[in-house]
Amino acid sequence: MHTRRTLRRTRTGLALLTAALFAAACSSTGASTSAGPASEASLAALPRATPSGLSPYYGQKLSWRDCGVPGFQCATMKAPLDYARPSGGDIRLAVARKKATGPGKRLGSLLVNPGGPGGSAVGYLQQYAGVGYPEEVRARYDMVAVDPRGVARSEPVECLDGRKMDAYTRTDVTPDDERETEALVAAYKNFAEGCATDAPKLLRHVSTVETARDMDLLRGALGDEKLTYVGASYGTFLGATYAGLFPDRVGRLVLDGAMDPSLPARRLNREQTAGFDTAFRSFAEDCVRRSGCPLGGKGTTPDQVGKNLKAFFEKLDARPVRTGDADGRALTESLATTGVIAAMYDEGAWPQLREALTAAMRKNDGTGLLALSDSYYERDPDGTYSNLMSANAAVNCLDLPAAFSSPGEVRDALPDFEKASPVFGEGLAWASLNCAYWPVQPSGEPRRITADGASPIVVVGTTRDPATPYRWARSLAAQLSSGRLLTYDGDGHTAYGRGSTCVDSTINTYLLRGTAPADGKRCS
């Protein structure tokens, strides 16, 4: 059971940057529009003058306090629940920072976002960015994060409790007959109803546009004239949206693992499915070169490896295998697929995936694949989940009209998805149905983002990125009037801080000196 997600996490030690699939909200839009070409409409910039109703929010002072995490401070920022009616009530957003350590002149604040949607930026700052970003960057910037509205510490949306989430993640997303199709639809409806019950008002106001406006409130509260920002994966959509709304307030923006905001949901889903196939083929080529590859030996082609994995998934569909789970969960086809997808985000996870597949395929022990799946869903050993998946759906289902509106539309599109990925295509097509039953109509639509007048914006694309295909980075860089494309020829999701000296030095130079790379620079 997958949904669109893109965030870095360190809880498993894999430093995965995890993305969920684009499954956008229900709409009256026809199937041809949902599957159609890139939009020619552009995101319009907001007026430069601050509306009078927002003046109190821009004038607020943050009261910093100890976070309980050494070196970090926390605060709460107010934002209007509805920017169209700023007097209609507030939402409180969690903010954290780690002040510049020196030496050297302080350059201001560096806002970070790990993606998602639904990822905790505060958690990311405290667990990774605030201690793992290059020392010279942390010396000159106050490292800052805000949990987006509806996420983690910022009035989180909670759709299902732990046991119900366990059932939801096990739901069969490759239905073989009408009964299984009805069960999948029922699962999506139950999830949506849980969200509606938990946060009926908030669900209408967790869009990326609103979160980008929150970021500008934070910029003002921090006293920065312009925004300096590093966003990963979905965080690139958030950062590009900010640039489109406030081009004159763009400082140094890095958009790593870029999304293409001009594409409709179905095309995004299909292209992301192809991205996972590209990453899997790279894994397959590596696996068969090693002794003991559970998916084939030396000389086995990636196509055959894919067929072997697909056959394994089909066996699990008929008969799940045992795990060491304390709650008695078995490894189902859906959980195994999620576990494999989770390991596609970082080639550093490939050895763990080989071991997990070996145990499951040769010893009927699904413990390893279940652990990978749990890391993807942010499930703790005690059976509790973060609100990642709830917030993920809430944002995605508001941002774009739905990829599909009915099971029939999914069936019609299966050949295209299976062409994009013979291994993952069927499941990812059905996973794109989830927002068809969302209780709130979408407020967004596909739009090009040009950000005319903005300072140079660095857009980073990885050639074999599974979750944000390289073509999206090329497209976003071309849309942005000041976009500079930086290409990393490699595997995994995103590039900054993942081992390329060329990428890291290029981005560090930009952040510290303001010198953007030449458009089209390539690194390996």
> Domain extents for the chain?
1-50+97-225+244-250+259-445
β-partners of residue 141 are 108
pLDDT at residue 90 in the model: 97
Helix or strand or coil: residue 66?
Answer: strand
Q: What is the mean pLDDT of the chain?
A: 93
C-alpha distances in Å from residue 33, one per residue of 149, 345, 433: 29, 30, 16
Set 233, 282, 421, 500: catalytic member? 233
CA-based radius of gyration for the chain: 22
- The answer to whether 95 and 146 are in contact (CB under 8 A) is yes
pLDDT at residue 309 in the model: 98
Supply φ then ψ for residue 405, to 5 degrees. -115, -5
The secondary structure of the chain in percent helix, strand, coil, rounded to multiples of 5, reads 45, 15, 40
pLDDT at residue 32 in the model: 35
465 counts as catalytic: yes
- Whether residue 20 has pLDDT greater than 50: no
pLDDT at residue 8 in the model: 39
Q: How far is CA 440 from the centre of its chain?
A: 21
β-partners of residue 379 are 385
When pLDDT is cut at 50, 70 and 90, the band that residue 40 belongs to is confident
Q: List, for residues 173-185, the tens digit of each pLDDT value.
A: 999 999 999 999 9
Percent of the chain predicted with pLDDT > 70: 93
When pLDDT is cut at 50, 70 and 90, the band that residue 6 belongs to is very low
Angle formed by the axes of helices 178-198 and 162-170, nearest 10°: 150
233 counts as catalytic: yes
- State both tokens at 315: 């066996």
Q: List, for residues 47-76, the tens digit of each pLDDT value.
A: 999 999 999 999 999 999 999 999 999 999
- Whether residue 25 has pLDDT greater than 60: no
pLDDT at residue 1 in the model: 59
Please give the Cα distance from 312 to 46 (Å, whole number).
Answer: 52
- Whether residue 17 has pLDDT greater than 50: no
pLDDT at residue 37 in the model: 87
Least confident segment among 36-50, 301-315, 329-343, 400-414: 36-50
Q: List, for residues 325-384, the tens digit of each pLDDT value.
A: 999 999 999 999 999 999 999 999 999 999 999 999 999 999 999 999 999 999 999 999
Q: List, for residues 256-295, the tens digit of each pLDDT value.
A: 999 999 999 999 999 999 999 999 999 999 999 999 999 9
DSSP designation for 454:
P
Q: How far is CA 349 from the centre of its chain?
A: 18
When pLDDT is cut at 50, 70 and 90, the band that residue 30 belongs to is very low
Q: List, for residues 425-447, the tens digit of each pLDDT value.
A: 999 999 999 999 999 999 999 99
Q: Which residue has the tokens 């949607």?
A: 117
Please give the Cα distance from 448 to 114 (Å, whole number).
Answer: 22
When pLDDT is cut at 50, 70 and 90, the band that residue 4 belongs to is very low
Q: Which of 125, 127, 124, 158 is nearest to 7 (CA)?
A: 124
- Whether residue 407 has pLDDT greater than 70: yes
Q: List, for residues 85-120, the tens digit of each pLDDT value.
A: 999 999 999 999 999 999 999 999 999 999 999 999
Q: How far is CA 300 from the centre of its chain?
A: 33
Going along 148-275, which residue ranges are E strands? 227-232, 250-256
Helix and strand counts by DSSP (H, E) for the chain: 19, 12
Q: How many CB atoms lie within 10 A of CB 381?
A: 10
pLDDT at residue 39 in the model: 85
Q: Which residue has the tokens 């003058």?
A: 49
Q: Which of 6, 11, 39 is nearest to 401 (CA)?
A: 39
Set 374, 399, 465, 491: catalytic member? 465
When pLDDT is cut at 50, 70 and 90, the band that residue 36 belongs to is confident
Supply φ then ψ for residue 153, to 5 degrees. -90, 0
